[in-house]
Structure 1
Amino acid sequence: MLYIVLILVLAALGLLVTALTTANTLWAWLSVGISIAAAGILVYDWLGNRRRKAAEPEAVAEVDDREPEYVDEAVDEPVEEPVVASVPPAEAVAVVPETSSEDEPGEEPTDAADLLVISGLTADVRVLDERPRYHLAKCAWLGGRSSIGLPVAEARQLGFTPCARCSPDATLAAKHRAGRGARTPGEK
């Protein structure tokens, strides 16, 4: 339908140019007539679309009026929740499984302001192989365990979370705000 209107508009434009170059009003009136016909086709198409759209909700309403069928049977098997796994970036090589060890310290709750500061720090924290938390070097929970030093921002990127006992996020963010140590990359 739009192609027909386009052709009519182009024809009207051609007749208008002809009318202006020849100074003959007949061509101008033919251009006006073709333009009116193109407008009439557009109005007809618009009204047809409105009628079709008005009829669609009635058809949908007929389908939606049906009552859903429910099965009232007891299910013996438990329904398993879907497991959603996130894939770490290719650079991440450390695997940090959540352990259910009873002596594992909890996770420190970190507020958004501290998290913004921590995400750019290069201060070292300590991590244990196959343990989910990162710690300050002075953390009592580390004791004599063999640990690995990582920048805190990298530890976060690798999926480690802060220890609730030594509160590394709050401590490092406070040091950074006070201007003592814990520099961000690019700071001198």
Structure 2
Amino acid sequence: MLAALGLLVPALTSAQTHWAWLSVGASGAAAAVLVLDWWLRRRSGPRAAGTAVVDHQVSGGDQPAAVEGTGDDTAKSPPDQAHLEPGEEDVDAADALVVSELTDEVRVLDERPRYHLADCSWLAARPSLGLPITEARQLGFTPCAVCRPDATLAALKRAQVRAEARQESRQEVGRDQPAEPA
């Protein structure tokens, strides 16, 4: 891209068109390299088997993020482990079915594969974005093993359904009772 820009300057300042054509060619070559890079990254997926994923963002402003999958996680102190991605929640099939029908909001972080509950300890003060859980799942996010959003939201939904059923049964019992004379 810089070469194309460098060739564009003489094309604009001189009357020779070959500089312009060289700039167009350099731009096309740069575009081809960018498309090839995009295609290779898309084809290999977010994590190729056996490779480590490096997070280039600086979390907290003071320490670089850790390399995932290096195998030396046990030697790290707890603050260093906060930079690692939490594991994926092992979701029960019944919970997954309940959660698939929910529209509750979960929190996601840009460039991170997990979705979280708003009070997740792993999220801490990280800037996050709220999404309906169905949209987060459609976008490929998976549940966090720290806050266990699928199990928690499924349990809340089941408790809500039980409370509504009790309320309905109380109302039906009240309707079946004969009115007391005044």
TM-score by length of 2: 0.44
| TM-score calculated relative to the size of structure 1 | 0.43
Asked which structure has the greater RCO (Cα within 8 Å, sep 6+), the reply is: 1
